Chain A
Amino acid sequence: MGQSEEEHLTGQQASRITYTLESSLDSVNKVEETAEQMAKKAGIDEDEIFKITMAVREAAVNAVLHGNSYDPEKRITASFENTGESLVIRIADQGKGLDPETLPDPLAPENLLRGSGRGIFLIRSFMDEVHFKQLHPGTELTLIKHLGTAQTGS
């Protein structure tokens, strides 16, 4: 269902795993599960795991649905890295590109009853940092959760 590579950086606890996946809902679920496992492994508390998992799922849905439009020729790339200080998740698509500045505000009264348009808002709400990068073609989202604030028992 895709390629994966795993690299363990020597001398540190940091590790990174990268998947290249089809533009499908199965891929969304795989990315979501990987994020959940990564967050659990990092000792993050349950509420934060939910937020991270959901943000990553939303980013993957955006990549598959809005970016690649389920195009079987296009792939999404998802990489997961625990730097020791942060969880860094990057999700990239090969679509037309996304300008976050042009997205309507889902909290504006005139948009509250819209049936869509909340994904990026939720990602921003749930992560500590969110960065957009244009890939020409495509978009890469970088989602960052700082470990200091999210871990249990520390």
Chain B
Amino acid sequence: MSMKVTTRQVDGVTILDLSGRITLGEGSVQLRDAIRDLLAKGSKQILLNLADVNYIDSSGIGELVSAYTTVRNQGGELKLLNLTKKVHDLLQITKLYTVFDVKDDEASAIASFNRA
């Protein structure tokens, strides 16, 4: 039931491949911990691959927003990749789709990050 997180590095961008559910008590805490660990290590260019996230609740949406603001406040960038239709629709109705930088191609997503 819980979420699985795999981390990859591509051209200075950290990609988190998430699969499963981002919900209260399941994926939310894992996502928060993963972002905190990355920032502690100085990884501030983060791409969340949500292709295999089949379910997200309001807690999970809140966690995505918190991740986004936390990374941004530390001078980094957090973008979303490969939204499923359900997650896409949820971000639309919560008006967050335009807040996040949402990508659907990994290579161009990686190329879009600022590298100072």
Contact = CB atoms under 8 A, between A and B. Distances in A.
Interface in A109-128: 112-119, 121-122, 125
Interface residues of B, number: 21
A25 B23 CA distance: 10
B65 interface: yes
Contacts of A106: 94
Nearest to B32: A115
Nearest to A53: B55
A125 B1 CA distance: 25
Main secondary structure of the interface of B (DSSP, over half): helix
Contacts of A57: 23, 57
Interface in A69-84: none
Contacts of B66: 115
B12 interface: no
A143 to B, nearest CB: 15
A112 B58 contact: no
A59 to B, nearest CB: 11
A-side binding surface: helix, strand, loop or mixed?
A: helix
A107 B63 contact: no
Nearest to A121: B94
B75 interface: no
A126 B47 CA distance: 29
B86 A50 contact: yes
A65 B25 CA distance: 11
Q: Determine the interface band of chain A, counting residues with CB < 8 A from chain B.
A: 20 to 34
B93 A112 contact: no
20 contacts: A25-B24, A28-B24, A50-B86, A54-B57, A57-B23, A57-B57, A58-B57, A107-B95, A112-B96, A113-B65, A113-B99, A114-B65, A115-B69, A118-B58, A118-B94, A121-B94, A122-B58, A122-B90, A122-B93, A122-B94
Interface of A: 25, 28-29, 50, 54, 57-58, 61, 65, 106-107, 112-119, 121-122, 125
Which 10 interchain pairs have the tightest Cβ spacing?
A: A115-B66, A118-B58, A115-B62, A25-B25, A119-B58, A116-B62, A107-B95, A113-B69, A61-B24, A125-B93
